Amino acid sequence: MNNVIIFKVRKDEVDILNKYASINQFSIKMERENLSIDTVELCKGFNSVIIQASCEVNEEVIKKLSEYNCLNIITRSIGYNNINLKVCKKYGVNVANVSYSPASVAEFTVMLILMSLRKMKQNFINNNMSNPTFSNLKGKELHELSVGIVGYGNIGKSVIKNLKGFGCEILIYDHNPKKKFDVEYVDLDGLYQRADIISLHIPLKPETYHFVNYENLMKMKDGVIIINTSRGELIDTKDLIMCLENNKIGACALDTFENELQTFAEVRNNIDNDYVKLDSRSNVILTPHMAFFTETATDDCIRIAFENINKFINNENVIYSLIKWFFLN
């Protein structure tokens, strides 16, 4: 029987993990903590480990996993920037991520766009102050606007599919202009010049770190709306705050944030930081990295995680293998 240890398990995942462990005849152990150098010793006796994006898989951790013969790492997330893939290859450790229903994030993205356009956070503020007025809530209609989608992956495509029903102009920028696009493709400067709303759907890589910064923000339309349901580090937060303060940005909605673990811990401890500064603004919507969080997507993540392990163990082709992808691209 295959032995699998699973880190950073949420309560809502327990029944699903047990279901797929039974289907795949895996023996599993669940931990609430992150995988780290402090907890890696728990992996002794297991041949596979399933983690979350909050787990830091650095060289120290990978070396220990290799020593324990725990050679399969599955992250039940799409993002993998927390895993040192080069070191994993060095120690012969397999790594894979998962996929999940793109509709989960795509529908959440459209919701954030509509909430931003119709000033819903200000509406909530009004209501919380027992002031049910609409005098400061005049919004814009989506069908009259241009939406720029940065990234033409599964989620970007799903966002476009949803937006088509609103009748808005849709522009797409992707790092690979040779793809076949079902809407108008433009270069990045063209997107900045024309888009009233810009939504990010690209992975975090060294070349996309602070993809949205002061220089690029200055190229955008005055009053642009920024939506980020991808990765927090795609945006330079301090530059974002500066452009909100000078009204270059009309509104923004962020489901992800730079240095989330530290930032959220500071907020819980009443420490003033950039998150608090953003949250104080009526034209900024912040959500706690929850765009993916649906019943369907959660089931997808866990099902595919176990499928990956089965394929690694049986030497079958693993579609979501990150080592293979990383070193072929």
* pLDDT given for residue 1 in this prediction: 58
Q: What pLDDT is recorded for position 300?
A: 98
Interhelix angle 154-164/102-117, nearest 10 degrees: 50
Q: Which amino acid is at 69?
A: N
User: pLDDT over 90 for what percent of the chain?
Assistant: 91
What is the rounded distance in angstroms from the CA atom of residue 225 to the CA atom of residue 139? 12
Question: Residue type for 229, please?
Answer: T
pLDDT of residue 326: 54
Our CA dihedral for 28, 298, 308, 101, rounded to 10 degrees, sits at 170
Q: Which residue in the list 194, 210, 281, 289 is annotated as catalytic? A: 289
**Predicted model pTM:** 0.92
CA distance 221 to 223: 6
| Catalytic pick among 13, 76, 201, 231 | 231
10-residue mean pLDDT series, the chain (329 residues):
91 98 96 96 97 95 97 95 94 96 98 97 88 88 98 97 97 94 96 98 94 98 98 97 97 96 92 95 96 97 97 94 67
The reported pLDDT for the residue numbered 130 is 85
Reply yes or no on whether 231 is catalytic: yes
Pair 201, 106: CB distance under 8 Å:
no
Out of 56, 60, 107, 260, pick the active-site residue.
260
Q: In this structure, are residues 213 and 241 in contact, taking their beta carbons and an 8 Å threshold?
A: no
State yes or no: is 143 an active-site residue: no
Q: What share of the chain is helix, strand, coil (3-state, %, to 5)?
A: 40, 15, 40
144 is catalytic: no
Distance CA 278, CA 316 (A): 47
